[in-house]
Amino acid sequence: MLTVAEAIQKRCSIRKFKPDPVPDELMEQILEAARLAPSGTNRQPWRFQVVKEGELKDKLISEAVIGEQPQIAQAPVVVVCGSELLTFVKGHKLSPPGSEYFGADSADPTELQKFLPDAHMYTAIGVEHMVLMATALGLGTCWVQRMRFGQAAKILGWPRHIAVLTLLLIGYADEDPAPRPRVSMEQIVIKEGQAPE
């Protein structure tokens, strides 16, 4: 298995997958990596649904995905990643201890929407944990965001308080893409005493 540093260096978006199935024991390790991710005030809002072959996957592709994205049909595993907004309700059973001091006063969907950016930010940390673990295990991944999120939730039968963030494709890579260009350290690091341009 690769180290974390090696996985960070090796990770890239894969859009061509081999048909080989991903063993269940590897998927368990990948999902466990997400479960261990950090989140603000320990909300842990992430929710994941593993979709493989079948009618559900076909429906997601035909009704929720925008444009031609053949890599979704090709990927042996599609993880639908979402955020549980009830973890932001004060004192709710899904909220962490101490949550009675911060969060929504009720489970009203309109009030919960204001917590969506925080919920998705924490869920994204969990998704990236999965990406790095998958890479370390020799698998390829690709985030998919060009989709109708509400329609995806409806197809899956998710309630309104769980919002879809992304699809994560997982499988064995059938390509070795060249590294994408990255901006320089000088462009991303604001040094002490310097004002950003």
User: Structurally, what CATH architecture does the domain formed by 4-175 represent?
Assistant: 3-Layer(aba) Sandwich (3.40)
Which is it for strands 140-144 and 162-171: parallel, antiparallel or unpaired?
Answer: antiparallel
* R_g of the chain computed on alpha carbons: 18
The per-residue pLDDT for 103 is 80
Tokens standing for 136? 């370390």
The per-residue pLDDT for 106 is 83
Q: Nearest 10 degrees: CA dihedral of 83, 38, 169, 139?
A: -170
The per-residue pLDDT for 119 is 96
The per-residue pLDDT for 91 is 80
Domain boundaries, the chain: 4-175
The per-residue pLDDT for 197 is 76
With 0.85 as the threshold, say if the pTM is over it: yes
Tens place of pLDDT per residue across the chain (197 aa): 999 999 999 999 999 999 999 999 999 999 999 999 999 999 999 999 999 989 999 999 999 999 999 999 999 999 999 999 999 998 888 888 767 767 888 888 888 899 999 999 999 999 999 999 999 999 999 999 999 999 999 999 999 999 999 999 999 999 999 989 999 999 999 998 888 87
Tokens standing for 82? 């979402």
